[in-house]
Amino acid sequence: MTWLLEAYTDRRTYGALGYLLVGLPLGIFGFVVVVTGLSLGFGLLVTLIGIPILVLTLLFVRGLAGLHRQIAWSMLQAPIPRRPDRRVRAQGMFWQRLRELITSPQTWRELAFALASLPLGVIGFSFAVTLIALMFSGFAQPIITAAGVETQIGTWTIDTLQESLVYLPLSLLFLLVGPRILFGLGAVAGRVTVWFLGRIGLNDLKVGVVQALAKDGELDGFAILDQLQLRFGADAHLSPTRVQAALLALESNGQVGVRTGATGRLYRLGEQT
């Protein structure tokens, strides 16, 4: 019982409710703009006007994903990674940045999320509104009946005060379990958002590793993982396997050198030692 009622005092429950309610308008907005932009862009591709429209659509998708990340992080406390420094990401000339935008797997994942956010928003919003209705309809029904409004359930008409109490047990039950269900729905929504938008690309990881080594000189794998967690935030798909893969990639192109110390492999910038 305490576990059920604790959800009322947890601000994440209200965050989850807000996230589920905001998800529908945001989902509609994103879906409409993206589908219109893609259709218009591909349709006008032969006239070359389509190219800037497609690029603008991808830039919109990136901005929208940023907004979703902010909302998921602030409302659901979802472990969304901090994006790498804009100066590092936006290096190079216009064409290099355009190439980065098009070739980055993150862009396509963000596009998929912009399209998926409409059905996800509809599902989340429907669950949230249904739950709220179930929680409060039992208390609203006597007021509605007292106001002289008749309610139909199949062939049965609710028109007396006694009959209007029919929803009350259901509402009492949902007042008990509803916040906990909302909490769970918020957790699921957060996981979906993190799955789409909370990944750190291998290139970003490599940049993080190089900067950690540039700052601290020589580090072992554990220290590099700690540095990356400080940079991107803990639990943001930062696993030892991914760090090992980033180190392997940097080792293979000679950006990182390695020597064996007392506790294991020690990494530093520069030549292989």
Partner 1 sequence: MDEFREMAAREREAKRIARRQWFWLHFAVYATTQAFLIIIWALSSATYPWYIFPLFGWGILIAAHAVFAFVVKTPEEIMIEREAHESSNPR
Q: Which of 119, 240, 254, 270 binds partner 1 (CB under 8 A)?
A: 240
Cβ closest to partner 1, residue 131 vs residue 250: 250
Cβ closest to partner 1, residue 82 vs residue 259: 259
Q: Which helix (H) or strand (E) holds 235?
A: none
Cβ closest to partner 1, residue 148 vs residue 264: 264
Position 177 contacts partner 1 (CB under 8 A): no
Q: Which of 241, 253, 271, 273 binds partner 1 (CB under 8 A)?
A: 241
Dump the DSSP string for 162-220: TGGGGGHHHHHHHHHHHHHHHHHHHHHHHHHHHHHH-PPPHHHHHHHHHHHHHHHSSEE
Interface region with partner 1, contact rule CB under 8 A, candidates 7-15, 26-34, 140-148, 257-265: 257-265
Cβ closest to partner 1, residue 142 vs residue 221: 221
Q: Which of 10, 143, 265, 270 binds partner 1 (CB under 8 A)?
A: 265
Instruction: Give least dist CB 265 to partner 1, A.
Output: 5
Dump the DSSP string for 97-116: HHHHHHH-HHHHHHHHHHHH
Q: Report 180-239 residues binding partner 1 (CB under 8 A).
A: 202, 220-222, 225, 239
Instruction: Give least dist CB 248 to partner 1, A.
Output: 5
What is the spatial distance between Cα 7 and Cα 26, in angstroms, rounded to a whole number? 26
Three-state secondary structure call for residue 133: helix
Cβ closest to partner 1, residue 154 vs residue 264: 264
Q: From start to end of the chain, where are the E strands?
A: 151-153, 156-158, 219-220, 256-260, 265-269
Position 244 contacts partner 1 (CB under 8 A): yes
Interface region with partner 1, contact rule CB under 8 A, candidates 1-9, 47-55, 131-139, 245-253: 245-253
Position 156 contacts partner 1 (CB under 8 A): no
Cβ closest to partner 1, residue 97 vs residue 259: 259
Cβ closest to partner 1, residue 174 vs residue 196: 196
- Indicate left, alpha or beta for 156 from its phi (over 0: left) and psi (-120 to 50: alpha): beta
Long-range contacts (CB closer than 8 Å, 24 or more residues apart) made by 55-60: 55/98, 55/101, 57/33, 58/101, 58/102, 58/107, 58/111, 59/101, 60/33, 60/34
Phi/psi for 34 (5° steps) reads -70, -45
Q: Which helix (H) or strand (E) holds 33?
A: helix 11-43
- What type of residue sits at position 262? A
Position 256 contacts partner 1 (CB under 8 A): no
DSSP state of 165: G
The size of the chain, in residues, is: 273
Q: Which of 155, 162, 263, 273 binds partner 1 (CB under 8 A)?
A: 263
Cβ closest to partner 1, residue 221 vs residue 257: 221
Q: Which of 245, 255, 257, 269 binds partner 1 (CB under 8 A)?
A: 245
Which residues make up the interface to partner 1 (CB under 8 A)? Answer: 202, 220-222, 225, 239-245, 248-249, 260, 263-265
